[in-house]
Structures are given as C-alpha cells and as structure tokens.
Amino acid sequence: MSVRNFFPHVAVTKEKARNTANRISPLFSANEVSERIVSASVGANLIIYLTTKYHLSTASSAIIIFVYVAAANFWPVCGAIVSDALLGRFLMVTLTLFSCTIVRARNGPLLPSLLANDRPSS
C-alpha cells in the first residue's frame, strides 16, 4: 500500500518523503539519547535515595530499581493489549485520563504535608 491510498488529496513523492525522513531522524535520535541519559540518572538518584533515606544496602536498592524498571517496561505492553483487544483506543484513553485525575486530586492535598517534613526547622 502506498501513502496515496491513505491520503489521496496529498501528493507525496518518494524524494519528498526521503527528505522529510532525513530531517526528522536526528530528532528521534536525540530523543532516544536523552531518554537513556534520564533513565540512567533516575537509577543513580534512586540508589542514593534508597541508601541514604531508607538505609538499604546497595544490593537491595539495585533489586528495587530492577523491579521498578522491569515494571515500567512491562506495563505499557499490558496496557496496549487491554486497549487493543478489550476496550478500544478511545475508551482506554478516557479511563486513563480519568484515573490519573482522580489520583492527582486525591494525592494533591497530601503533598504539602509531605514536603513540610523535609524542610529544616528554623
């Protein structure tokens, strides 16, 4: 199937599509590189946090971070299966936005009290 079958009103030549791909590919590469850097820095910060605040050993902290990364990589696959097979795209997006709104509304009033405990007393 060609692009023209999907968008008959848009005339796309192979050269124009190739030029667009050449312009966009550095953006994808930069996005992937920055995602890897952020992922590594979150792991390092979690190790420091778990060892200093919770007084866990480095090995225990590494296991916790491994489980966190595994879950973070696994749950989107489960969400995609539920979305495609059971609910449909739009209902899944609606339910996700609704649940995120409920969680944020519930946890919102708790955040100032949690942050107040970390501040040094004057």
> Model confidence over 66-104: pLDDT tens digits?
998 899 889 888 888 888 888 887 888 888 889 888 887
Domain boundaries, the chain: 14-115
Long-range interactions of 91-99: CB distance < 8 A, separation 24+: none
- pLDDT recorded at residue 121: 56
- pLDDT recorded at residue 34: 93
Please say if the pLDDT value at position 59 is more than 90: yes
pTM for this entry: 0.56
**d(Cα 99, Cα 104) in Å, to the nearest integer?**
9
> Model confidence over 98-122: pLDDT tens digits?
988 888 777 766 556 655 555 555 5
pLDDT band for position 6 (cuts 50, 70, 90): low
